[in-house]
Structure 1
Amino acid sequence: MARLNVKPTRMELANLKDRLKLSTRGHKLLKDKQDELMRQFIILIKENNALREEVERELTDSMKEFVIAKSLINELFIEELFVGSETNVELDIHEKNIMSVIVPQMDFNIKEADVTSDIQYGYLNSSSELDEAIERIESILPKLLKLSEIEKTCQLMADEIEKTRRRVNALEYRMIPQLQETIRYIQMKLEENERSSIVRMMKVKDMGTNN
């Protein structure tokens, strides 16, 4: 491990020890943050997967029902039905802080628009099966919106986990070892200088005694 390019002095040694202490404390805090982010990320991923499977299953089933009901009704009526119907979705986005990660928290208000339609449901152009199929498809909308919130949160947390992982690795495998190696080097040089000073003093003392 390459050491830092610094002068082997006692002042530099004290500075490096302070940096090592700070880096070690920072590494622990980042590692704890990474672990907690991973824990919450795993919980969200499980929730996301379960909700996605549920939504996909309900969409598949409701579309099957819709296709069957649609096949029994006049095609023109189907087109008029979707032109005449309208749903408004009011979206209010707040911010939520999860371990310093700002994620969206979405509140949805889904309501039918006040639209007057001339479509008249009758025995010849409508069926209860079609109504039920459409209602079932519409009922999935809140889950789709919730799914989008969770998936966005997972994406933001994954980005933060990756950034935190890089910082942890930089401290663990580069900065902290470099500081430790440099501290050992300076301590060794200072000990060598101290021994050399003692040897010189002893030689001077011997020379004085001989004279």
Structure 2
Amino acid sequence: MGDDNQRENVFPTRQSLGLMKTKLKGATTGHSLLKRKSEALTKQFRTIIKSIDDTKMEMGRTMQLAAFSLAEMSYVTGDEVKYQILESARTSSCRLKTKHENISGVFLPVYECVINNENDHRLIGLGKGGQQVQKCQETHIKAINILVKLASLQVFYPPKSPAINNVDRLYHPRRRHQNYKPQKNTIKYINSELEELEREDFTRLKKIQVKKKRDIDSENKKYTSAAPSDASTPSSCPSSLGVPPPSALQTADDDDIIF
């Protein structure tokens, strides 16, 4: 069966035409929503890829600075400061917080690093190297934030591609054309049938008018042909016989009505 013959089996009425137009409008609205969703996901996907590249470049520089700051702290304070930091730590300075972001109906996880303001290493390096310890801590916190950001972006990457593929498959023009064809063919069929019914009604009314006109003409011809014969007969009116016409005000005796 060709695409032109694909239509739904409906009775050609005005109500069916309205229903098919509503279905076609819903299909076009769904297609436009899929288009906007695909564009939003594709834009976000490209933004994520660019952010991953930029974050990786920044991560390389930050990790290099963190390694240099650790070496500088070890050189100034000695190797014993590492054990002091491990022994003085009571709570974690950084905690990972997870939330979800809705992007066009697709929920993606987002990681966020929460920094604890309580500092357990305030007394470390009090004799010497306190500035280097503070600098090393700030540099490593910055490196952790960048690593968390990179992890969040890389978590974005795997679920994003299947979501785009699914939306693009639904948004494909050929699939859209196949979905719209039955509704369009059905609307075309209903319109043609309704036009045919209107033409039949118009033809029937026209024939009725022609028949009425023909009947009226035949009646007029009959009356016209009967008029001369009526004029040749003598009038039987009371006035022609010399008898005055009866008065409407004159009372006359009527016969009794017997039931």
Match of 1:108 in 2: 113
- Report matched runs for 1:175-194 at 5 Å: 175-192=179-196
Mapping for residues 12-161 of structure 1, pairs under 5 Å: 12-56=16-60, 89-109=94-114, 140-161=143-164
Does structure 2 retain, via aligned residues, the 8 Å contact 1:8–1:190?
Answer: no
Q: 1:55 to 1:178 in 2, by over 3 A?
A: farther
Q: State how far apart, in whole Å, the 2-side matches of 1:136 and 1:108 are.
A: 15
Task: Letter of the 1:178 partner, please give it.
Answer: P
Please name the residue that 2:8 is paired with. Answer: 5
1:73 equivalent in structure 2: none
Letter in 1 for 2:97: D
The answer on whether the counterparts of 2:7 and 2:186 sit within 8 Å (CA) in structure 1 is yes
- Alignment check: 8 A CA contact 2:38 2:168 kept: yes
Normalising by structure 2, we get a TM-score of 0.51
Runs of 4+ in 1 over 6 A off after TM superposition: 62-65, 83-88, 111-115, 132-138
Q: CA deviation at 1:16?
A: 0.9
AA in 1 matched with 2:166:
K
How far off its partner does 1:56 sit? 4.7
Give 1:168 deviation, angstroms.
Answer: 2.4
**In 1, distance between residues paired with 2:93 and 2:167?**
40
Secondary structure class of the residue paired with 1:94: strand
Structure-2 separation of matches of 1:156 and 1:84: 41
Deviation at 1:173, TM superposition (A): 2.4
Partner of 2:225: none
Alignment-derived partner of residue 126 in structure 1: none
State the match for 1:120 in structure 2: none
Tell whether the 8 Å contact from 1:8 to 1:189 is kept in structure 2 after alignment.
no
Count of paired positions: 194
CA distance in 1, matches of 2:93, 2:145: 12
Per-residue deviation, 1:39: 2.3
* Structure 2 gap ranges (5+): 73-79, 122-134, 215-259
Paired-residue identity, %: 24
Q: Which residue does 2:165 correspond to in 1?
A: 162
Q: Distance in 2 between matches of 1:143 and 1:201?
A: 83
Instruction: Tell me how large the CA RMSD over aligned residues is.
Output: 4.9
Q: Which has the higher contact order (CA 8 A, sep 6+)?
A: 1
* Larger Rg, first or second structure (1 or 2): 2
Farther off after superposition, 141-150 or 8-17: 8-17
Letter in 1 for 2:10: K
